[in-house]
Structure 1
């Protein structure tokens, strides 16, 4: 909801994000441990704090490259190259998706990006909560 509210707020000077190290650590841990989390956790948190979506998308994408590289190197060392097809699929997907995301971030107006990100975060969060409640109460 906070991201959607930022879409209709007058643009002011962005505030400094406090405890960015903790945010980066939690995002990196979830990304490596659970297979995802850097983008959803870090991007939505930074945007909800009022940072420009263009700045957030660019900086998160750049940092995610290094997080993913560190994770991939760790997996290569521990597991070897037994899942090379999966790894190559992820690499090709990233090569295709990254320039498209950068192009969209550069062309879309900030207000529309705030609204789009807010809706996506709300829908995915509601879906996760619904599935969790479904597992707890109905199974």
Structure 2
């Protein structure tokens, strides 16, 4: 009983972060599971199985309160599904951990840029979706599957960096993530199977409880605060990954 309550708490905390600022559910959950000794492929499979439910709840909550730009959804979801399936298939034979420092270097720079843009007085947001969404979705889905997380930091951060309004970037990425995680989970089931149902159930329960509260936070927090939070989380997570890779 204590174990499942721990996983509920992890799922709740991870979804509050992810639903409010559009990232870090997978990275948060995967980091904790790996610290418990769960193998990388198994940890990623468990997290994505749980995310199928939590992203569905979170995406629906964002859609209901108007945080979703429908022009963005499929332009990032479809390539994300393709990249996610490929990443999940490769993870069964490749050391996914080796790829994280390279992605983290990119995210570190992007996080600093987002913080600078949030604090800059002449901030402007664009009404039209940015270009080059197909490669963005593909890379986000691929790295999410390989590293157990990364869809939000890569896709949300890039959209914000290109001027997408924070609430629409966060809400749209959350809804698209449902389709990406569903595809990744299906790929893991076909390749390595699925186990550790206590972990999955706890993460799902905590994430579903947190989803509506996180969506409200994304809607009502000021744009500048949201962007600063996003940039800060990206920088901290990226630095942590790089330091762990160097020290390991």
| TM-score category of the 2 structures, normalised to the smaller one | 0.7 to 0.9
> How far apart are 1:116 and its partner, in Å?
1.2
1:39 aligns with 2:146: no
The alignment partner of 2:207 has SS state of: helix
Relative contact order, higher structure (CA 8 A, sep 6+): 2
When normalised by structure 1's length, the TM-score is 0.83
RMSD: 2.0
Q: CA deviation at 1:13?
A: 4.3
Q: Check the 8 A contact 1:6/1:50 in 2, yes or no.
A: no
1:16 shift after superposition: 4.1
CA distance in 2, matches of 1:111, 1:23: 24
Answering whether residue 240 of structure 2 is matched by residue 127 of structure 1, we say yes
Unaligned runs of 5+ in 2: 1-111
Using the TM superposition, give the Cα deviation of residue 131 of structure 1 relative to its aligned residue in structure 2, in angstroms: 2.4
Aligned residues of 2:125 and 2:165 also touching (Cα < 8 A): no
The 2-side partners of 1:81 and 1:114 are apart by 36
Q: Per the alignment, do residues 2 and 17 of structure 1 end up closer, same or farther by CA in structure 2, a change over 3 Å counting? A: same
What corresponds to 2:87 in structure 1?
A: none
TM-score normalised by length of structure 2:
0.49
CA distance in 1, matches of 2:129, 2:194: 41
- Consecutive unaligned residues in structure 1, runs of 5 or more: none
> Does residue 20 in structure 1 map to residue 133 in structure 2?
yes
Q: Is the Cα contact below 8 Å between 1:43 and 1:57 reproduced in 2?
A: yes
